[in-house]
Amino acid sequence: MSKIIAVTSGKGGTGKSSISACLGYALAKQGNRTLIIELDFGLRCMDIMLGMQGNITYDLGDVLEGTCDVYKATTTVKLASNLSVLCAPSDPFVQLKAEDIEKITQEMRKYFEYIIIDTSAGINGSVFDIVTNSDLILIVTTPDPVCVRDARMMSDEFYKRGNQKQRLVINKANKRIFEFDEMDDLDAIIDTVGVQLLGVIPEDSAIPLATGKGAPLSSSSMGFLAFSAISRRIKGEHIPLSIKV
Ligand SMILES: Nc1ncnc2c1ncn2[C@@H]1O[C@H](COP(=O)(O)OP(=O)(O)OP(=O)(O)O)[C@@H](O)[C@H]1O
Protein backbone atom coordinates (compact mmCIF):
# COMPACT_ATOMS: atom_id res chain seq x y z
CA MET A 1 0.00 0.00 0.00
CA SER A 2 1.49 3.35 -1.03
CA LYS A 3 1.73 6.31 1.30
CA ILE A 4 1.19 9.96 0.44
CA ILE A 5 3.26 12.19 2.70
CA ALA A 6 2.67 15.96 2.68
CA VAL A 7 5.48 18.16 3.99
CA THR A 8 4.09 21.44 5.23
CA SER A 9 4.62 24.35 7.62
CA GLY A 10 2.92 27.56 8.73
CA LYS A 11 5.91 29.78 8.18
CA GLY A 12 8.11 29.91 5.07
CA GLY A 13 11.73 28.84 5.00
CA THR A 14 11.42 26.10 7.62
CA GLY A 15 13.09 23.59 5.30
CA LYS A 16 10.15 21.82 3.60
CA SER A 17 11.85 21.46 0.22
CA SER A 18 15.18 20.38 1.75
CA ILE A 19 13.34 17.82 3.85
CA SER A 20 11.32 16.56 0.87
CA ALA A 21 14.50 16.13 -1.20
CA CYS A 22 16.61 14.49 1.53
CA LEU A 23 13.78 12.28 2.78
CA GLY A 24 12.94 11.20 -0.76
CA TYR A 25 16.60 10.35 -1.35
CA ALA A 26 16.81 8.39 1.93
CA LEU A 27 13.67 6.35 1.15
CA ALA A 28 14.83 5.65 -2.39
CA LYS A 29 18.30 4.57 -1.27
CA GLN A 30 16.63 2.16 1.15
CA GLY A 31 15.03 0.50 -1.86
CA ASN A 32 11.61 2.22 -1.91
CA ARG A 33 10.16 3.55 -5.15
CA THR A 34 9.61 7.20 -4.27
CA LEU A 35 8.15 10.22 -6.07
CA ILE A 36 8.48 13.84 -5.01
CA ILE A 37 5.72 16.15 -6.26
CA GLU A 38 6.64 19.80 -5.96
CA LEU A 39 3.76 22.22 -5.40
CA ASP A 40 5.69 25.47 -4.98
CA PHE A 41 4.30 26.99 -8.19
CA GLY A 42 6.60 29.60 -9.74
CA LEU A 43 9.33 28.87 -7.16
CA ARG A 44 10.67 25.60 -8.49
CA CYS A 45 13.81 24.40 -6.74
CA MET A 46 13.53 20.60 -6.62
CA ASP A 47 15.34 20.18 -9.95
CA ILE A 48 18.40 21.94 -8.49
CA MET A 49 18.17 20.16 -5.12
CA LEU A 50 18.11 16.76 -6.83
CA GLY A 51 20.84 17.55 -9.35
CA MET A 52 18.41 17.62 -12.28
CA GLN A 53 18.63 21.24 -13.42
CA GLY A 54 18.31 21.36 -17.21
CA ASN A 55 17.09 17.75 -17.34
CA ILE A 56 13.38 18.31 -16.74
CA THR A 57 11.35 17.95 -19.93
CA TYR A 58 7.84 17.98 -18.49
CA ASP A 59 6.44 19.37 -15.26
CA LEU A 60 3.20 19.50 -13.32
CA GLY A 61 2.03 22.40 -15.51
CA ASP A 62 2.03 20.08 -18.57
CA VAL A 63 -0.06 17.55 -16.66
CA LEU A 64 -2.55 20.13 -15.35
CA GLU A 65 -2.92 21.61 -18.83
CA GLY A 66 -3.52 18.13 -20.23
CA THR A 67 -0.56 18.18 -22.63
CA CYS A 68 1.29 15.30 -20.97
CA ASP A 69 0.36 12.10 -19.21
CA VAL A 70 1.31 12.19 -15.51
CA TYR A 71 3.66 9.20 -15.48
CA LYS A 72 5.47 10.50 -18.57
CA ALA A 73 5.90 13.86 -16.82
CA THR A 74 7.85 12.32 -13.95
CA THR A 75 11.66 12.29 -14.27
CA THR A 76 13.96 9.67 -12.77
CA VAL A 77 16.61 11.30 -10.63
CA LYS A 78 20.21 10.44 -11.58
CA LEU A 79 21.35 10.25 -7.95
CA ALA A 80 19.00 7.37 -7.12
CA SER A 81 17.23 5.16 -9.63
CA ASN A 82 14.30 4.60 -7.24
CA LEU A 83 13.64 8.32 -6.97
CA SER A 84 11.52 10.34 -9.40
CA VAL A 85 10.36 13.92 -9.37
CA LEU A 86 7.39 15.82 -10.77
CA CYS A 87 8.53 19.43 -10.70
CA ALA A 88 6.33 22.47 -10.11
CA PRO A 89 5.46 24.55 -13.16
CA SER A 90 7.82 27.46 -13.64
CA ASP A 91 4.72 29.54 -14.50
CA PRO A 92 3.27 30.80 -11.18
CA PHE A 93 -0.14 31.39 -12.78
CA VAL A 94 -1.00 27.76 -13.55
CA GLN A 95 -4.17 27.01 -11.62
CA LEU A 96 -3.82 24.55 -8.78
CA LYS A 97 -6.96 22.59 -7.95
CA ALA A 98 -7.01 20.09 -5.09
CA GLU A 99 -9.07 17.60 -7.12
CA ASP A 100 -6.47 17.56 -9.94
CA ILE A 101 -3.65 16.79 -7.50
CA GLU A 102 -5.83 14.14 -5.85
CA LYS A 103 -6.29 12.46 -9.26
CA ILE A 104 -2.55 12.64 -9.97
CA THR A 105 -1.52 11.16 -6.61
CA GLN A 106 -4.10 8.36 -6.86
CA GLU A 107 -2.78 7.46 -10.32
CA MET A 108 0.83 7.53 -9.06
CA ARG A 109 0.03 5.10 -6.22
CA LYS A 110 0.27 2.37 -8.88
CA TYR A 111 3.94 3.12 -9.49
CA PHE A 112 5.39 4.44 -6.24
CA GLU A 113 5.48 3.27 -2.62
CA TYR A 114 6.01 6.77 -1.22
CA ILE A 115 4.71 10.00 -2.74
CA ILE A 116 6.14 13.07 -1.03
CA ILE A 117 4.30 16.34 -1.61
CA ASP A 118 6.45 19.41 -1.07
CA THR A 119 4.02 22.25 -0.38
CA SER A 120 4.25 26.01 -0.24
CA ALA A 121 4.05 27.60 3.23
CA GLY A 122 0.91 28.77 4.99
CA ILE A 123 -2.79 28.40 4.61
CA ASN A 124 -3.78 28.43 0.97
CA GLY A 125 -7.14 26.90 0.02
CA SER A 126 -6.18 24.20 -2.47
CA VAL A 127 -2.86 23.28 -0.85
CA PHE A 128 -4.70 22.96 2.44
CA ASP A 129 -7.15 20.46 0.95
CA ILE A 130 -4.34 18.48 -0.68
CA VAL A 131 -2.44 18.23 2.60
CA THR A 132 -5.57 17.31 4.58
CA ASN A 133 -6.24 14.41 2.21
CA SER A 134 -2.75 12.90 2.50
CA ASP A 135 -1.93 9.74 4.49
CA LEU A 136 0.66 11.43 6.66
CA ILE A 137 1.29 15.12 7.31
CA LEU A 138 4.77 16.19 8.34
CA ILE A 139 4.43 19.51 10.14
CA VAL A 140 7.82 21.17 9.94
CA THR A 141 8.91 23.77 12.46
CA THR A 142 12.17 25.30 13.54
CA PRO A 143 12.65 26.09 17.24
CA ASP A 144 11.76 29.75 16.56
CA PRO A 145 8.70 30.60 18.75
CA VAL A 146 6.80 32.27 15.88
CA CYS A 147 7.32 29.22 13.72
CA VAL A 148 6.22 26.92 16.54
CA ARG A 149 3.01 28.88 17.05
CA ASP A 150 2.24 28.79 13.30
CA ALA A 151 2.84 25.03 13.32
CA ARG A 152 0.24 24.70 16.09
CA MET A 153 -2.29 26.73 14.09
CA MET A 154 -1.76 24.60 11.00
CA SER A 155 -2.01 21.38 12.94
CA ASP A 156 -5.24 22.47 14.68
CA GLU A 157 -6.80 23.15 11.28
CA PHE A 158 -5.81 19.70 9.96
CA TYR A 159 -7.24 18.04 13.08
CA LYS A 160 -10.47 20.05 12.71
CA ARG A 161 -10.76 18.75 9.14
CA GLY A 162 -10.32 15.20 10.36
CA ASN A 163 -6.68 14.37 9.64
CA GLN A 164 -5.28 12.55 12.67
CA LYS A 165 -2.12 11.33 10.93
CA GLN A 166 0.22 14.18 11.75
CA ARG A 167 3.82 14.05 12.91
CA LEU A 168 6.15 16.84 13.93
CA VAL A 169 9.60 17.41 12.43
CA ILE A 170 11.79 19.93 14.23
CA ASN A 171 14.32 21.31 11.77
CA LYS A 172 17.40 23.50 12.19
CA ALA A 173 17.82 22.50 15.82
CA ASN A 174 20.92 23.98 17.38
CA LYS A 175 22.37 24.60 20.84
CA ARG A 176 22.27 28.36 20.54
CA ILE A 177 18.51 28.44 20.04
CA PHE A 178 17.82 26.18 22.99
CA GLU A 179 20.12 28.20 25.24
CA PHE A 180 18.81 31.66 24.44
CA ASP A 181 15.26 31.37 23.16
CA GLU A 182 11.86 31.01 24.73
CA MET A 183 11.61 27.44 23.46
CA ASP A 184 14.16 26.14 25.89
CA ASP A 185 13.89 22.48 25.01
CA LEU A 186 12.36 20.04 22.57
CA ASP A 187 9.57 19.13 24.99
CA ALA A 188 8.40 22.76 25.02
CA ILE A 189 8.12 22.68 21.22
CA ILE A 190 6.30 19.35 21.15
CA ASP A 191 3.88 20.47 23.90
CA THR A 192 3.14 23.75 22.12
CA VAL A 193 2.48 22.17 18.74
CA GLY A 194 0.63 19.19 20.27
CA VAL A 195 1.77 16.70 17.63
CA GLN A 196 3.81 13.53 18.13
CA LEU A 197 7.47 13.97 17.25
CA LEU A 198 8.80 12.07 14.23
CA GLY A 199 12.32 13.44 14.23
CA VAL A 200 14.74 16.26 14.88
CA ILE A 201 17.06 17.54 12.16
CA PRO A 202 20.06 19.52 13.38
CA GLU A 203 21.11 22.76 11.78
CA ASP A 204 23.80 21.35 9.53
CA SER A 205 25.68 23.26 6.85
CA ALA A 206 25.99 19.95 4.93
CA ILE A 207 22.27 20.30 4.02
CA PRO A 208 22.44 23.63 2.07
CA LEU A 209 25.77 22.52 0.62
CA ALA A 210 24.31 19.27 -0.72
CA THR A 211 20.96 20.63 -1.92
CA GLY A 212 22.63 23.69 -3.49
CA LYS A 213 24.80 21.41 -5.60
CA GLY A 214 22.18 18.73 -6.16
CA ALA A 215 24.41 16.19 -4.46
CA PRO A 216 23.57 13.58 -1.81
CA LEU A 217 24.32 14.31 1.84
CA SER A 218 27.59 12.85 3.03
CA SER A 219 26.86 9.66 4.98
CA SER A 220 28.89 10.93 7.92
CA SER A 221 26.89 14.16 8.27
CA MET A 222 24.39 14.70 11.11
CA GLY A 223 21.75 15.58 8.53
CA PHE A 224 22.18 12.22 6.78
CA LEU A 225 21.75 10.34 10.06
CA ALA A 226 18.62 12.35 10.91
CA PHE A 227 16.98 11.64 7.52
CA SER A 228 17.90 8.00 7.69
CA ALA A 229 16.21 7.71 11.12
CA ILE A 230 13.11 9.66 9.98
CA SER A 231 12.66 7.55 6.84
CA ARG A 232 12.91 4.33 8.88
CA ARG A 233 10.37 5.58 11.43
CA ILE A 234 7.98 6.39 8.55
CA LYS A 235 8.34 2.74 7.48
CA GLY A 236 7.33 1.65 10.98
CA GLU A 237 10.77 0.74 12.33
CA HIS A 238 11.49 1.57 15.93
CA ILE A 239 14.46 3.92 15.84
CA PRO A 240 15.11 5.64 19.18
CA LEU A 241 15.52 9.40 19.17
CA SER A 242 19.12 10.35 19.73
CA ILE A 243 19.54 14.06 19.52
CA LYS A 244 22.89 15.73 19.15
CA VAL A 245 22.75 19.41 18.31
N1 LIG B 1 18.68 21.46 8.83
C2 LIG B 1 19.14 22.51 8.14
N3 LIG B 1 20.36 23.03 8.45
C4 LIG B 1 20.84 24.09 7.78
N5 LIG B 1 20.19 24.73 6.79
C6 LIG B 1 18.97 24.26 6.44
C7 LIG B 1 18.39 23.13 7.08
N8 LIG B 1 17.19 22.89 6.51
C9 LIG B 1 17.03 23.82 5.56
N10 LIG B 1 18.08 24.66 5.50
C11 LIG B 1 18.26 25.84 4.65
O12 LIG B 1 17.19 26.75 4.93
C13 LIG B 1 16.80 27.45 3.75
C14 LIG B 1 15.29 27.25 3.51
O15 LIG B 1 15.10 25.86 3.23
P16 LIG B 1 14.00 25.37 2.20
O17 LIG B 1 14.06 26.14 0.92
O18 LIG B 1 14.09 23.90 2.15
O19 LIG B 1 12.70 25.83 3.00
P20 LIG B 1 11.16 25.86 2.54
O21 LIG B 1 10.37 25.66 3.79
O22 LIG B 1 10.93 24.88 1.44
O23 LIG B 1 11.02 27.33 1.99
P24 LIG B 1 9.70 28.00 1.33
O25 LIG B 1 8.71 28.17 2.44
O26 LIG B 1 10.23 29.31 0.83
O27 LIG B 1 9.21 27.08 0.25
C28 LIG B 1 17.65 26.89 2.62
O29 LIG B 1 18.75 27.75 2.46
C30 LIG B 1 18.12 25.54 3.16
O31 LIG B 1 19.34 25.11 2.61
Please name the residue whose Cα sits nearest to atom 16 of ligand 1.
Answer: 15
Note the pLDDT tens digit of each residue in 80-104.
Answer: 999 999 999 988 888 888 999 999 9
Confirm or deny that 18 is annotated as ligand binding.
yes
In this prediction, residues 169-193 reach a mean pLDDT of: 78
Predicted local confidence at residue 163, as pLDDT: 86
Ligand 1 pocket check for 204: Cβ under 6 Å: yes
User: Could you tell me the distance, in angstroms and rounded to a whole number, from the CA of residue 174 to the centre of ligand 1?
Assistant: 14
Q: What is the dihedral of CA 55, 49, 167, 70, to 10 degrees?
A: -10
44: amino acid identity, one letter: R
Please name the residue whose Cα sits nearest to atom 30 of ligand 1.
Answer: 208
CB atoms within 10 A of CB 243: 13
Ligand 1 pocket check for 8: Cβ under 6 Å: no
| Closest-lying ligand 1 atom to the alpha carbon of residue 172 | 1
| Closest-lying ligand 1 atom to the alpha carbon of residue 19 | 18
Note the pLDDT tens digit of each residue in 55-74.
Answer: 999 999 999 999 999 999 99
Strand ranges in 24-135 using DSSP code E only, listed in sequence order: 34-38, 75-76, 83-86, 114-118
Distances (CA, A) of 187 to 22, 43, 88, 200, 238: 25, 34, 35, 12, 20
Confirm or deny that 15 is annotated as ligand binding.
yes
Substitution candidate for ligand 1 out of 7, 18, 117, 213 with most atoms within 8 A of CB? 18
Please name the residue whose Cα sits nearest to atom 25 of ligand 1.
Answer: 12
Confirm or deny that 51 is annotated as ligand binding.
no
Residues 190, 152: contact at Cβ < 8 Å? no
Q: Which structural domains are found in the chain, ordered by start?
A: 3-234 (3.40.50.300)
- Contacts of 180 by beta carbon, 8 Å cutoff, 6+ apart: none
Predicted local confidence at residue 96, as pLDDT: 83
Note the pLDDT tens digit of each residue in 202-216.
Answer: 999 999 999 999 999
Question: Could you report the predicted ipTM of this complex, rounded to two decimals?
Answer: 0.99
pLDDT value at 245 more than 60: no
User: Could you tell me the distance, in angstroms and rounded to a whole number, from the CA of residue 9 to the centre of ligand 1?
Assistant: 12
Distances (CA, A) of 186 to 137, 166, 189, 244: 19, 17, 5, 12
Report d(CA 58, CA 43) in Å as an integer. 16
Ligand 1 pocket check for 211: Cβ under 6 Å: yes
